[in-house]
Amino acid sequence: MSRALALGLTLLAAVACGGGNRNAGAPSPETPSAPPASPPPAAEAAPLAKSTVTLYFPSATDDRLVAESRAIIETPRPADRGAQILAALLDGPEGEGALPFAPDGTTLRRLWVRDDGTAYADFSSGLADGLAGSSEEILRLYAIVDSLTTNVPEIKRVGILIDGRERETLGGHVDVRRPIGPDASLVATAGKKE
């Protein structure tokens, strides 16, 4: 093989393998490179789905509970739904025919729901303050129980705790050592007279 032919084959092999051009694979100066990819535009957040629930407050005129509607954010977890319901209940009534069910400053510390349908609502000590008698105690308890059991199908009964502890009663009249089921007989219905 001639020397010229060998040199030509060597050069041809070097060019083919990129050895002849150190910038092989890089864009040439006259070829503009594509701009860096920009992130996709932020999608506008879809509005959160809401649902309407029924809350029960002590009546301003008799020893019954009166219903008010509220909108809460739709959520699949029963404990999250129940916590929103109790937060709205603690915010107090919007109508004139209802009274707050608990003193100002009362807070929900935690709510959890067991698989057997029992929810436990742990309130601050304010829940037990200012009770004037058995009727007020009953309405305070059932405002909680009926609001939860009506709106959260997974909740069948509610246990009440104060500052993380079980109590015998809130105000000396109703035993709250065991979870309580709903009592629809306490709910005032439109046009009902007794």
Local confidence pLDDT in tens for the 194 residues of the chain? 444 434 344 444 444 445 444 444 444 444 445 555 666 666 677 788 999 999 999 999 999 999 999 999 999 999 999 999 999 999 999 988 999 999 999 999 999 999 999 999 999 999 988 787 888 999 999 999 999 999 999 999 999 999 999 999 888 888 889 999 999 899 987 544 44
Q: Where does residue 135 rank: exposed (0-12), middle (13-18), buried (19+ CB within 10 A)?
A: middle
- The rounded distance, in Å, linking the Cα atoms of 65 and 73 is 24
- The rounded distance, in Å, linking the Cα atoms of 20 and 122 is 78
**Model pTM?**
0.73
- The rounded distance, in Å, linking the Cα atoms of 140 and 172 is 13
